[in-house]
Structures are given as C-alpha cells and as structure tokens.
Amino acid sequence: MTNPITDHLQIDMSQATLNSVTNLDFLTKDRLRELQWQKFEIILRHTYENSPWYHEQMVQRKLVPSDIKSFDDMYKLPFITKQILRDTYPFGLFALPMDKIVRMHASSGTTGKPIVVAHTREDLAVWAQSVVRSLRSYGVGPGDILQNAYGYGLFTGGLGLHDGGQALGVTVVPISGGNTERQVMLMRDFGATVVSCTPSYFLHIIDKAQTMGVDLRTLPIRVGAFGAEPWSDEMRKRIEADAGIKAYDIYGLTEICGPGVGAECVHQNGTHLFEDHFYPEIINPETLEPLPDGQMGELVFTTLDRFAMPMIRYRTRDLTCLISEPCPCGRTIRRMQRIAARSDDMVIIRGVNVFPSQIEAALLQVEGTAPHYQIILTREFGGLDEIEVKLEVQPEDFSDKVREIEAFQNRVRHEIHRVTGIHAKVSLVQPGSIPRSEGKAKRVIDKRII
C-alpha cells in the first residue's frame, strides 16, 4: 500500500535512517506545525471518506474536512472515547479493508469488552520509529541488549518495544513477562544493559534478585524503560538506588498505538511527546474546553499518520499538562508532566479526591517502607468510607519495625494525611505478602457497596 503522507513527504518509514527519524525531535516550531498540518489534512480526509462512523459524526455536525482550516478549528470535531471503541467492537472504526491490515491489538477490557485496534504495515513502522526515538532519548543504541519483559500478545507493550528495539538495532531478548527467577538469571548471564517492563514488575524483579543473592547494581544493566502504569518520582528513586540504573518513563496507550507515544530524555523532567505523529491537546474534562500549555487537564490525541484506524481527538482520561519551555536536551517536541493519574483511577473518600499515586508518593517518603502497597476501600452499611493502606516494610527492617510498630504506622499515616488530606488506617504486612504483578499492578481494591 502506498501511504499518501509518507509519499508526499518523501519519507520511507521502513527505510528511514536513524538520523532522519531522530531529527524529527529537533524541528523548528514552524516546521513542526507545518508538518503536523500537512499530515492532518490528509488524515482527516482519509477518515471522513473511509470511516463510516466518523463520516456520520461529521454529517450530523454539517462538517466537511475543508471546514477545518487550522488546528484552531479542532474544537469543531467530535471527541472519541473508550466507550465508543467498545460500542463499535470489534471492527467498527477500521478505515481500511482487512487486506490492508497486518496486525490487531486489544486492550485488557477488564471492565467489559476489550477495545480493538488495527495497523497497516506503515502504521506499525510509524509506531516502531516512535519507540526508536524513545530508546535513543535514553541513550540506548546498537550494542545494547534489551531484555523486554513487557507481556507479548494482544497487549501492546511486548511487541511495541520488540519492533522498536529491532528497528534501532539493539539486541532484543523477547522474554516477555513472568518467570521472574529466569528474568534475573538471563539478565545476569546475557549481560542485559536495558530492561523494559512495568515499574511494578521491575520491583518484583529487584526482590527476586535479592532472594537469589544477585546484586543488580553489579550487573551491566543501566537503563529501564518503564511505563504502562503511573509511577511516582519516589518510586523512581527507589528503583534507581536498588538496581543501580537510570529509570526512564515510556508512555503510550493501545488506542493511539502503544508504548512510544512519548518518552523521557536523560534530563528526566517530563515526557517528550512525538507530536509529529500524535497531536496532543489538553482539555478541561468537565467543560471540554481546550486548555493552554501549563494547565492541568485531560490529554487528547489525534493520530496524524495512522491509516488503518485513525483516532481524531481521542480522550485518554490521563491527566497532565503540556510543557512548552525548552528542554536542555534540545528537543523541540513538547513535554508533558509524567502521568500521575487517570481520571477513572481517582477515588473519592469522604468527599476528598485522591489518586493512588499520591498515596504512593506519601508512603515512600517514610524511611523503611517498601514500595509494595495496596489501598482498600470499605464502607459500612449506611456508614462512612474507610480507607486502609496495606504496606510492606523492608525485609531487613521488619523485625525492628514490629517493635516500634505504632510509631512507624503513625509516621506513614501522618505523611498520607499531609499529602492527601485524608486519614487512612495503615496496616503493616509481612514482606512479600502483597500480590506481585507481572504487568500492571492493581493498587486499589474497592469493597464499597455503593
């Protein structure tokens, strides 16, 4: 299939040299805008003509593609949500016939039907190039050995890092998630220099290495590409200290492609977004008004060069703000604040809005806590919400801490109250007793009867 965008721009994504791809991180603002707009005009027309759902939406609003004259007119276009992806399950948003589609992915769908996304060969090349740019921004390149411990399968993490790693020319070890003892063994025996997985799974690898008597700090491993779930800076500090690596963020979502929508650079001061592929907006999630850079709101993406299943103004539910100040690395693509929360993770306890990541940040402030915790919400019949934070202490501290258990619990309670304003019950549990995850961690157990 020929791709009008890459043809027009004379970029062959599958052959693009590494430098021509990475140069996209350093375009001038005007050139970037121009490139985005050229792509958007093509993709909007393609979507209007080939996606019956979008066509119908635009007809209802009496819109044709030429009514959108610049990005300032974006607000006229409807949003798309996860619910719409579910309602059109499985193939209702595909904009090309099956003979152009070379792969499908799906996201977990723990709360109902999964959502399905489709890719052409070119779409996959764009995604792989975004992962190339992510890995490069961490200083990773040929010669590195990437232990890819993201799950392979319908989940995008495994194949996303796999294709990107190979496109960059690093040596990919496609170990997938699980079998943690073997993860540690291969990390040591193969001399992996880069690891990719969820931050919570890496904590599990750290634990396992300790019980196996392997000190990760003495191994060649130096970079972690962590994402797929929120993780706090306190968590980052723990991981970096315990494993002797630099822990970088990689962000993405199935609906847009997968990991590689954005990535941190070595300055670790926000996640650069590959804006030339994924056009970001921040909106007020209540009024749906666009918000300027610097203001917190919901992140919305438009895929600028995905043909199998274009997403125009997809509401991610992720809360962040865009940072337009220049980054010391010289990349001109904007950064976003690392995603600390998604609006559907927010819990309301006695009227106070709290995100699990705030609790994580608070409890990791206290010395002696381990980064393993679970938040349990209960409500007595007709009563008030109760929140309990179950927390492991460091194995070496466990017996000492039991002696001074009350003082320690109080320190954690106090810190949670200081950060979130809520009074939580804190229970200390045996090291290793909180279930470990091989993918995304389940932090909140809501037992409330609503």
The partner in contact with residue 108, picked from ligand ADP, Zn ion, none with C-beta cut-offs of 5 to 8 angstroms by kind, is ligand ADP
The partner in contact with residue 301, picked from ligand ADP, Zn ion, none with C-beta cut-offs of 5 to 8 angstroms by kind, is none
- Distance (Å, rounded) from C-alpha 256 to C-alpha 254? 5
Which helix (H) or strand (E) is 50 found in, with range? helix 29-50
Q: Which is nearer to ligand ADP, 152 or 190 (CB)?
A: 152
- Distance (Å, rounded) from C-alpha 48 to C-alpha 100? 18
Question: In angstroms, what is the minimal distance from the CB of 182 to ligand ADP?
Answer: 24
Give the footprint of Zn ion on this chain (CB under 5 A).
Answer: 265, 267, 327, 329, 331
| The amino acid at 326 | P
Q: Which is nearer to ligand ADP, 272 or 342 (CB)?
A: 342
Q: Which is nearer to Zn ion, 31 or 267 (CB)?
A: 267
Q: Which is nearer to Zn ion, 269 or 394 (CB)?
A: 269
Question: In angstroms, what is the minimal distance from the CB of 80 to Zn ion?
Answer: 30
- Distance (Å, rounded) from C-alpha 141 to C-alpha 22? 12
- Distance (Å, rounded) from C-alpha 343 to C-alpha 117? 22
Helix (H, G, I), strand (E, B) or coil at 153: coil
Map tokens 């950060």 to a residue: 419
Q: Which is nearer to ligand ADP, 46 or 443 (CB)?
A: 443
Question: In angstroms, what is the minimal distance from the CB of 82 to ligand ADP?
Answer: 7
| The amino acid at 400 | D
Map tokens 């199998």 to a residue: 308
Pairing relationship of beta strands 297-303 and 278-283 according to DSSP bridges? antiparallel
The partner in contact with residue 355, picked from ligand ADP, Zn ion, none with C-beta cut-offs of 5 to 8 angstroms by kind, is none
Query: Quick one: which of 257, 86, 268, 232 has its CA closest to 157?
Result: 257
Give the footprint of ligand ADP on this chain (CB under 6 A).
Answer: 107-108, 156, 227-230, 249-254, 316, 318, 339, 342
The partner in contact with residue 265, picked from Zn ion, ligand ADP, none with C-beta cut-offs of 5 to 8 angstroms by kind, is Zn ion
The partner in contact with residue 253, picked from Zn ion, ligand ADP, none with C-beta cut-offs of 5 to 8 angstroms by kind, is ligand ADP
Question: In angstroms, what is the minimal distance from the CB of 329 to ligand ADP?
Answer: 18
Question: In angstroms, what is the minimal distance from the CB of 325 to Zn ion?
Answer: 11
Q: Which is nearer to Zn ion, 327 or 424 (CB)?
A: 327
- Read out DSSP for 65-112? GGG--SGGGGGGSPPB-HHHHHHTTTTTT--S-GGG--EEEEE--TTS
- Distance (Å, rounded) from C-alpha 52 to C-alpha 85? 14
The partner in contact with residue 47, picked from Zn ion, ligand ADP, none with C-beta cut-offs of 5 to 8 angstroms by kind, is none
Structure tokens at 11: 């970029």
The partner in contact with residue 229, picked from Zn ion, ligand ADP, none with C-beta cut-offs of 5 to 8 angstroms by kind, is ligand ADP
Distances (CA, A) of 127 to 27, 84, 120, 293: 19, 23, 11, 25
Q: Which is nearer to ligand ADP, 165 or 262 (CB)?
A: 262
Query: Quick one: which of 9, 15, 14 has its CA closest to 41?
Result: 9
Question: In angstroms, what is the minimal distance from the CB of 79 to ligand ADP?
Answer: 15
